[in-house]
Amino acid sequence: MVHLRIVIPNHQAQHVLDLLCAMPSVVNVIYLERAAHKPEGDVILCDVAREDASVILSDLRELDVHREGSIAIETIDMPISEAAERAVEAASGAPSDAVVWEEVEARTSENTELSFSFVAFMTIAMLIGAVGISVDQPILIVGAMIVGPEFGPLAGLMVATVEFRGNLARRSLAALAVGFPIGIAVTAIATLLIKWTGLGPDTIENRPFTDFISHPDFFSFMVAYLAGVAGVLSLTSAKSGALIGVLVSVVTIPAAANVGVAAAYEDWKEFGGALAQLSINLPTIVLAGITTLYIQRRFYVVRRRKHFFDEAREAAGLPLGRSRRSPRQRARL
């Protein structure tokens, strides 16, 4: 379930209460009159079945709650209540498959910023990958995947495309456009220094364990596509795993690191293969993610349109059969 904390001016509180109390998927509605001071207003607390969370949040946006007050969202991991169980049963679908679109937007917005830490993690990940490539050690390649932070901007680009969010797309592209070149350049310089000092190998040929990184084939496309699908499913699910970034990194960070290593060794065949691998993987991941996210979005749109005829909207003073928000606002959330 999802817990909502709503701060709303007093004149709007009754509409919100009527909406929440009329929805069978909402439980534990608590009303605290004049409890908020900044901004001033009433506080309403409630628990919502995850399946209906975005639908109800859209209704609250129609009531301009987010403009006149605020909405805070928290995930409830373990509700112990028969009333909560009945609320979940009242909402169609499985909680594990439900997508809270506001939560997805918040997750991606947090991880798309072009910052010093993002560039630092990109560079560190590629440096670890470069060592793994140089000494032909797959365990170091795995280490590079764990450190790599590139899934955030990739996910941001997917969400931005499906929700028509230009600002999010620009921030995501900026992070990728800066993070990858800087990481590759630093990796090439570091590899050169190691090579000149005699600490590194004389050549990067004969790497049976990591040779796959610079030799793209059908399986490169397949793994990248599956990584994109898995990444989106993890992003939108109730129990997202942090290790999903490792799956996405398997086809991005090692290839980028290999570009820098090959440039340092002036192995242009290896350089071209690694660059081709990266050029295949990045758009494939994004394409797979956009496709998956679009399908999930269509299910939500159908659910939302069905909800337009729910009598709970009429109880809150909202029009039946349509939204009173503009088409541009409806396209987003």
| Residues 301-318 pLDDT 10s | 998 999 999 888 888 888
* The pLDDT of residue 327: 55
Q: What is the mean pLDDT of the chain?
A: 88
Which pLDDT band holds residue 243 (cuts at 50, 70, 90)? very low
pTM: 0.85
Q: Is the pLDDT of residue 96 over 80?
A: no
Q: What percent of the chain is predicted at pLDDT more than 70?
A: 93
Q: CATH top-level class for 2-95? A: alpha beta
How far CA 328 is from CA of 22, 59, 159, 241, 324, in Å, comes to 28, 16, 16, 32, 12
Region 208-212 average pLDDT: 81
Percent of the chain at pLDDT > 90 equals 52
Task: Identify the pLDDT of residue 132.
Answer: 92
pLDDT in tens, 13-36: 999 999 999 999 999 999 999 999
Q: Is the pLDDT of residue 242 over 60?
A: no
pLDDT value for 39: 86
Full 3-state SS string of the chain:
CEEEEEEECHHHHHHHHHHHHHCCCEEEEEEEEEEEECCEEEEEEEEECHHHHHHHHHHHHHCCHHHHCEEEEEECCCCCCHHHHHHHHHCCCCHHHCCCHHHHHHHHHHCCCCCHHHHHHHHHHHHHHHHHHHHCCHHHHHHHHHHCCCHHHHHHHHHHHHHCCHHHHHHHHHHHHHHHHHHHHHHHHHHHHHHHCCCCCCCCCCCCCCHHHHCCCHHHHHHHHHHHHHHHHHHHCCCCCCCHHHHHHCCCHHHHHHHHHHHHCCCHHHHHHHHHHHHHHHHHHHHHHHHHHHHHHHHHHHHHHHHCCCHHHHHCCCCCCCCCCCHHHHHHC
Q: Which tens digit of pLDDT belongs to each residue from 33-78? A: 999 998 899 999 999 999 999 999 999 999 999 998 999 999 888 8
In one-letter notation, the amino acid at residue 276 is A
pLDDT tens per residue across span 105-149: 888 887 788 899 999 999 999 999 999 999 988 888 888 888 888
